[in-house]
Amino acid sequence: MKLRYAQYRALIVLGVYLVAFLIFYGTINNHVHISEFRKVNSVDATLPVVSFVTSDAEINRTLGYTFIPQEGKMRQSITPVMQGETSIIVLVDQKGTNVRKMSCSVTEITTGLVMDDINLMSLKDYRDGRIYGQFFFTAKYATNTEYLMRITLTTGEGKDVYYYTRLMFPTFGNPKQEVEFLENFHSAILDDERQTEIEKYLETEDSYTGADFSRITHRDSVDSVGYGQMEPKEIESYVPTFVEYTSSYVAAEKDFYVEAYSNDGLETYSCVEHYRFRTTSKTNYLYSFERKMEVMFEPVYFNLSARQIKLGITGEQNLNCLMS
């Protein structure tokens, strides 16, 4: 009897399971559901962004790391501290976070010897809504030598974010004058009425023809350097980044975004200008200039009927395609 009772019980459980499965299967909608993806813009950044003020010049917009990378290879920018100065200011755009502490460590690159290790518990408000901290250096630094500087921000959630630059105490240069020259050159390019100001710095060659607006150099005509008939409008611009700092020249980059109309409507372009130049009290010398320009791709420029994708201005010459 017990065996027969166990068999009946197993059959009842199996029957209930089959009925429940049939009811569930009949109610589901047999379609493929595609997950929706959200595009995250730069304004949605969750990590603070820092820059440095030296000799009254703001330079080197720097993005942070949530982990400590191979520090010896970190050479994203050069931050010079001129003779007679003993400090720099670090500006912080909090990007919606709550930065409660900032620290700075400076080490020798080859030996790893810590030269300065400074902690700031109190940060001040800057005039444009950012906050800042000022670091005073006390160690004896060699001139014209690069040191690794790490800025650490601690947020209200206890998260540490790390930022890197190369600190340098040169016996030459003038960061304020160098930034002014670069920014004036940049703004003159975008202003039709001021483009004659940059003509004297160009080395236009009649035999040289740039490929297109994706890459323009100092060898192009002033009309090409000035965007031709595009008439762009700058919508976002960042402070220059010093990538080389020598007694002979400064190498710097400037990132920015512009909008311009094409046959397809208003388009947004990501641009970066590369400069190599030297400033003196009497005149300025531009050794090389290059602008790279890429259209920000928009799905609206798919032409499905013609089986085409409009890429616009791009530096890509060989594109890989994948049909799916």
Residue 103 has pLDDT above 70, yes or no: yes
Q: Using DSSP, state whether 230 is helix, strand or coil.
A: coil
Structure tokens at 119: 């902690």
Residue 15 has pLDDT above 70, yes or no: no
Strands 265-279 and 284-295: antiparallel
CA gap 244, 241 in Å, rounded: 9
Digit-coded pLDDT (tens) for 137-182: 999 999 999 999 999 999 988 899 999 999 999 999 999 999 999 9
Residues in the chain: 324
Per-residue confidence (pLDDT) for residue 36, from 0 to 100:
40
Q: What is the mean pLDDT of the chain?
A: 85
| pTM exceeds cut of 0.85 | no
Question: Which of 141, 144, 148, 81 has its CA nearest to residue 112?
Answer: 148
Which is more confident, 318 or 155? 155
Report percent pLDDT > 90 for the chain.
65
Mean pLDDT of 200-222: 82
CA gap 310, 324 in Å, rounded: 18
Per-residue confidence (pLDDT) for residue 22, from 0 to 100:
55
CA gap 149, 288 in Å, rounded: 29
Beta strands in the chain (DSSP E): 49-54, 57-62, 78-80, 87-93, 99-108, 114-120, 124-125, 131-136, 146-155, 160-168, 215-217, 233-237, 241-245, 250-262, 265-279, 284-295, 302-303, 308-309
Residue 276's contacts (CB-CB under 8 Å, 6 or more residues apart) are 244, 249, 250, 251, 286, 287, 288, 289
Digit-coded pLDDT (tens) for 82-98: 999 999 999 999 999 99
Q: Using DSSP, state whether 265 is helix, strand or coil.
A: strand
β-sheet with 57-62: strand ranges across:
57-62, 49-54, 87-93, 131-136, 124-125
Per-residue confidence (pLDDT) for residue 30, from 0 to 100:
41
Residue 58 has pLDDT above 80, yes or no: yes
Per-residue confidence (pLDDT) for residue 46, from 0 to 100:
77
Three-state secondary structure readout of 88-146: EEEEEECCCCCEEEEEEEEEECCCCCEEEEEEECCCEECCCCCEEEEEECCCCCCCCCE
209-218: burial string, b at 16+ Cβ within 10 Å, e else: eeeebbebbb
Distances (CA, A) of 78 to 82, 106, 149, 244, 311: 12, 13, 10, 6, 35
Residue 320 has pLDDT above 80, yes or no: no
CA gap 90, 259 in Å, rounded: 31
Digit-coded pLDDT (tens) for 260-291: 987 778 889 999 999 999 999 889 999 999 99
Residue 190 has pLDDT above 90, yes or no: yes
Per-residue confidence (pLDDT) for residue 156, from 0 to 100:
87
Distances (CA, A) of 182 to 58, 118, 189, 306: 12, 32, 11, 44
Residue 34 has pLDDT above 50, yes or no: no
